[in-house]
Structure 1
Amino acid sequence: MTKILVIEDERTHRINLHKVLSVEGFETIIAENGNMGVDLALQEQPDLIICDILMPELDGYKVLKALQQNPITASIPFIFITAKSDPSDMRLGMNLGADDYLTKPFKRSEIVEAIATRLQKQVLIKKQHTQERMQAEAIMSYLLRYDRITNLPNRFLLAERFQELLTQNEATPEPIPILSLGVERLKQLHNTLGPARCNALLQSIAERIKNLLGKDDTIAQIGPDRFIILLTQSYQKSEVSQIAEILIDAFASPFPIEIHDIFLSPRIGIAFFGRDGRDLDTLIQHASAAMEDAQQTGKLRYQFYLASIGDKSKAALLLEQELRQGIERGEFQLYYQPKVNMPTGQIDGAEALIRWFHPKRGFVSPGDFIPLAEKTGLIVPLGEWVLRSACTQARVWQDAGFSPLRVAVNLSGHQFNENEVDLNGLVVDILKETGLNSSYLELELTESILMENPQAAIATLHKLKSLGIRISIDDFGTGYSSLSYLSQFPFDVLKIDRSFICQLPEDDKNRAITIAILQMAHRLNLKIVAEGVETKSQLMFLEEHQCDEIQGYWFSPPLSAKDFSDLLHSGKSLPLVSASC
């Protein structure tokens, strides 16, 4: 029954209104004054309120204000009744939020019609609010279960569907396969392409994968570069292998994003419910561990989970924790490998190389911790420390009276592909802080870093070059080796990778490649450094073909800062091979 609250101080009007409303079938509550009316409105929460304006203590206007300020009563339809017929009074009441205004004396039909109109309007408002609430709930439910960029299910919905599948298969348990698909370089591309293009790339990846799966299969996105696939139809290992191959082959063609053609390399790890775990979190963990193991080997396109992989994952997690602690505790040192000027035989620079001396593990190979630092993002603080320490040491040698040496520091993909303003600012700050002239700093980058986004890389390199820094391309010949881009990059130095040098001069193919690189670099006015020089015959070959600098064990291994200082004190130089022959 519809409940109506009447607030009226005059007894006769109260009785008349009560009779009228009762005859019309309304439940009527009576308040003799404004204060009582506010209290009853809060207690009873009526469907409509009829209130006199002229009342002692708390008049109708104050009653309405009090009710409007309380969220419990603010939306209740409110009708004023009064003997005052001045239009300004009516306007005041309506401005305060009243729904209607009746002047005394009024006919029974007028009050009944006013009530009916207000209640009908309230029904429509409630209906609209209900629809809006349902829409909001639907949106919230969607946002709770789907990724907003790719519109793929997220981990929450994946868990729901996994549980549904377990319930369906409860009578006849099947080895449900879970696939973890990781896409290499996707995190780095976010920095080079920018958020909008990377979102478009993610959408293209999601669409391509989704089109290859069955209608009952689920592909969920659980990270910026990680997708989890729940298969419902294929249970045999051979069938799952075929699906993994199909998914990987789908990445063979590029993803066109505006003017870019993006090539991506996926890796897949596979775990089975029952064999590799009985809950979703464990299965995702094991499938992802198998995927990461496939990534690290670089040979397997997909891999099934094995217990030994889990052991390696635990070891990697422990190493990551120790790596974080090592950075905080200062367990790292820089070693310096001399770079020798071939025409003069004198040391004219050094490459800074990071070394980790763990208190329990002892020496940890860079091959073990550098990839982990790249993967976890710890390479950024680690790289900043290397840059600052190398510049500081170069200035120390200068202050000690040695001829100024140019120190070379390797930049990681994370460092270079972060916001270029941050990188430029970091370099400027460190040079200012250490007092090192920019001409004595050399930054080394690999081809693969530069070719992720060549146009952006060219712009960043030009800004770095404008600071007076020397730019070197490292490990040349092992990456893309795009000659068209090489002529556009503002390089000063080209370093020939040790994989070519180690087989000189015996291997005819390497001889031809190395000679071609040397000749090309000279035509482009680039200085050439050969790394990994270990034999006299290699040195003779490089001198014969006018290599500018060498570094390698033939002259010296990487040395601690103290040992490098002792080497400088000794005045050791590289005997010219041609002069000694």
Structure 2
Amino acid sequence: MKKILVIEDEEFVRENILELLDSEGLEVFGAENGRIGVDLAQQQQPDLILCDVMMPELDGYGVLTTLRQDSILATIPFIFLTAKAAKVDFRQGMELGADDYLTKPFTRAELLGAIASRLKKQEAVQEHYNTEIQQAKDRLSYLAHHDSLTELPNRLSLQELFKQVQPQDDNYQEVLAVLFVGLDRFSKINDNLGSDFGDSLLKAVAIRLKACVDDQDIVARINADQFTVILAKRNHKKDAADVAQSILTSISKIFVVAAQEVFITASIGLAFYRRDSIELQQLLSYAKKAMLQAKQQGGNQYQFYTATFHIISVDYLNLETSLRHALEREELVVYYQPQVDLKTGKISGAEALLRWHHPQRGIIKPDKFIPIAEETGLIIPIGEWVLQAACKQTKIWQDAGFHCLRVAVNLSGRQFSQIDLSQKILQILRETGFHPQHIDLELTESMLVSNTEVAIRRLKTLKSLGMQIAVDDFGTGYSSLSYLQEFPFDILKIDRCFVRNITANPHNAAITEAIIQIAKTLELKLIAEGVETEAELNFVCRHNCDLMQGYLFSEPVPPQEFEKLLFSGKNLQFSPKQDHEAKVR
């Protein structure tokens, strides 16, 4: 039943309208002045409002202005009732956002016709809106489950597909094999012939992989040049080996890419369900180790996983040993990458990013040592040190006059799983004197989905302390609307892989627009990361992102360099002639 609010100071007129609409089966309620009308609108959220123009205290124009400033009430159809018939009065109401006018006295048919027309239009708008949201959800769902380059299932989809073929019977006699396929020398081809050539080659490899297996089998892309094949039903292990050999044979045949012949081979590792493990992640790990063994023996071959494999490089062990001393030797440094407000063009905060200044190797990137820190547990003390350093440094900048400066700090999976995480953060805040309302804690999607109830509880605890929660690298993991609605996020960061070349890549543009649309619907703040060109900047400006960060404005820099950016007043300059265009100044 549709709800109609009637705001009319003349009691006789108001009661007549209420009685008429009630007889039509509509739920109605009335207000004798504009103030009460606004309160009722906020409480009842009607489907349509009829409002007199001339009223004491707050007239109809004031009511409409107030409602249009409320995001929840702004779209409610609004019809003026007035004895004024001058065009200037009509124009004033329409400019404020009125949907229609009824001139007193009006007939029953005119009133019901106006109401029906506006409700029908509102329903059409809502239906269109719902369709767009559903399309955006569908695009995100596809993104969450498929590799955008090869259209193969991705790692998330692989987990779900594995459950479908995973044997449920303990007496299962057939063989289920997991193959980890790594391309040999792909990085050299990519470096020498370019990433576009490499992408085309990967697409061609994906096609050949699918041609080597049955319809019931699964082919997925895990990362850059690595694929996984799950052979769902084979009679013997030899059958799995035969498939592995057919893949090697197929891939070793000449590829023709962009009218150029190229030769490449693959290395394959095999692990078997139940013999090696019943968990997919463990099977993938074992198959990958076997694949690396095949590479070490020259490539273009397959290897079965055995428990005797100990493929841990000397370099890995040396890094682990050095990392254990990096904190005490003060080799770790926090860099800061500016986050820029796209409304003001000014620096509003920074993301704290860890760097390792190794005495012999120089700067070691996080992707080299963070996995080691995660695996060994060193990420706990390192993560606490980063948070303390970031809070201490940002407090110094705030005291220097940049009072509202924010800092974003990444939490690792191990940190987030600590039972006493909130107590540790509170202790750091007390020691540094930093206010929690200026901290954004960034978490990745994959950290939250294993135990959603516990994750939600911990996030709510952190939010209760005053901090904001950001979901990092959005769009690369689970990326569902229900997931966004379920967790108490404040900020959504669009991953750099979607921002990169967005103006030349319609697929990325469509995905990014879908992410933006859903984030705005959920009233999340949007940060576009990895903005490297003015075209990318103009795109995120045009689509109303709130903040940006990326090399176009500044790479991550040491504290002293970030301080120079602050005091120099470096900002984005928006073009006065063309909307949504900006340049770095």
1:13 counterpart residue number: 13
SS in 2 for 1:231: strand
Counterparts of residues 558-573 of structure 1 (less than 5 Å): none
Residue 76 in structure 1 maps to residue 79 in structure 2: no
Which residue in the other structure is 1:321 paired with? 320
SS in 1 for 2:166: helix
Give, as a single letter, the amino acid of the residue that structure 2 aligns with 1:24: E
Relative distance call for 1:39 and 1:14 in structure 2 (3 A) is: same
Paired residues for 1:282-321 under 5 Å:
282-298=282-298, 301-309=301-309, 311-313=310-312, 317-319=316-318, 321=320
Q: CA deviation at 1:75?
A: 1.7
1:449-528 equivalences in 2 (<5 Å): none
CA displacement at 1:80 relative to structure 2? 1.2
TM superposition shift of 1:71: 2.0
2:227 aligns to what? 227
Match of 1:40 in 2: 40
Return the TM-score normalized by structure 1: 0.54
| AA at the equivalent of 1:42 | Q
Are residues 299 and 8 of structure 1, via their aligned partners in 2, closer, same or farther at CA, if it must alter by over 3 Å?
closer
Whose relative contact order is higher, 1 or 2, with alpha carbons under 8 Å and at least 6 apart?
2
RMSD: 2.9
**For the residues of structure 1 that align with 2:326 and 2:30, how far apart are their CA atoms?**
76
Q: Counterpart of 2:90 in structure 1: which amino acid?
A: M
> Structure 2: how far apart are the matches of 1:258 and 1:102?
67
Hey, what does 2:266 align to over in structure 1? Answer: 266
Question: Which amino acid is 2:76 matched to?
Answer: I
Alignment of 1:394-409 (within 5 A): none
Q: Which residue of 2 aligns with 1:202?
A: 202
Q: Does 1:177 align with 2:161?
A: no
* Residue pair 1:175, 1:275 contacting (<8 A) in 2 also: no
Q: 1:95–1:189: structure 2 CA closer, same or farther, 3 Å change rule?
A: farther
Displacement of 1:254 in angstroms is: 2.1
CA offsets, 1:433-475, max 9 Å, x none?
A: xxxxxxxxxxxxxxxxxxxxxxxxxxxxxxxxxxxxxxxxxxx
Shift of 1:32: 1.6
More moved, 279-288 vs 202-211: 202-211
* CA deviation vs aligned residue, 1:401-446 (integer Å, no higher than 9, x gap): xxxxxxxxxxxxxxxxxxxxxxxxxxxxxxxxxxxxxxxxxxxxxx
DSSP 3-state at the match of 1:149? coil
- The aligned counterpart of 1:127 is 127
CA distance, structure 1, for counterparts of residue 93 and residue 137 of structure 2: 36
Aligned-partner Cα distance in 2 for 1:168–1:130 = 40
Whole-angstrom CA distance in 2 between matches of 1:76 and 1:127: 15
Q: How does 1:15-34 map to 2 (within 5 A)?
A: 15-34=15-34
Q: Which amino acid aligns with 2:281?
A: D
SS in 1 for 2:219: strand
Cα distance change on mapping 1:220 and 1:81 into 2, 3 Å: same
**1:189 is matched with which residue?**
189
Shift of the 196–218 alpha-carbon distance from structure 1 to 2, 3 Å rule, reads: same
Which residues of structure 2 form unaligned runs of 5+?
Answer: 330-360, 370-585
CA distance in 1, matches of 2:118, 2:167: 51
Distance change >3 Å, CA 3–CA 215, structure 1 → 2: same
What amino acid is aligned across from residue 100 of structure 1 in structure 2? D
Which stretch shifts more, 75-84 or 289-298?
A: 75-84
TM-score by length of 2: 0.54
Change (3 A) 1:206 1:320: farther
Q: In percent, how many aligned pairs have the same letter? A: 41
Partner residue, 2:108: 108
In the alignment, residue 43 of structure 1 is paired with which amino acid?
Q
Report 1:305-384 matches (<5 A). 305-309=305-309, 311-313=310-312, 317-319=316-318, 321-322=320-321
Per-residue deviation, residues 101-150 of structure 1 (Å, max 9, x unmatched): 11111111001001111111122122212211111111010111111111
Q: Is the 8 A contact 2:178 2:287 kept in 1?
A: yes
Give the Cα separation in 2 of the matches to 1:187 and 1:212: 24
Indicate if the aligned counterparts of 2:265 and 2:300 stay in contact, CA closer than 8 A.
no
Quote the offset at 1:6 in angstroms.
0.9
Larger-Rg structure: 1
Aligned length: 336
Matches of 1:326 and 1:245 in 2, distance apart? 45
- What residue identity is the alignment partner of 1:20? L
Alpha-carbon contact 1:254-1:264 (below 8 Å) kept: yes
What secondary structure does 1:215 align onto? Answer: coil
Determine the structure 2 residue equivalent to 1:357: none
**What is the CA-CA distance between 1:194 and the residue it aligns to?**
2.5
- The gaps in structure 1 that reach 5 residues or longer are 330-368, 379-581
Asked whether the equivalents of residues 248 and 300 of structure 2 are also in contact (C-alpha less than 8 Å), the reply is no
Question: In 1, are the aligned partners of 2:175 and 2:233 still within 8 Å (CA)?
Answer: no
Contact 1:187 1:224 (8 Å CA) reproduced: no
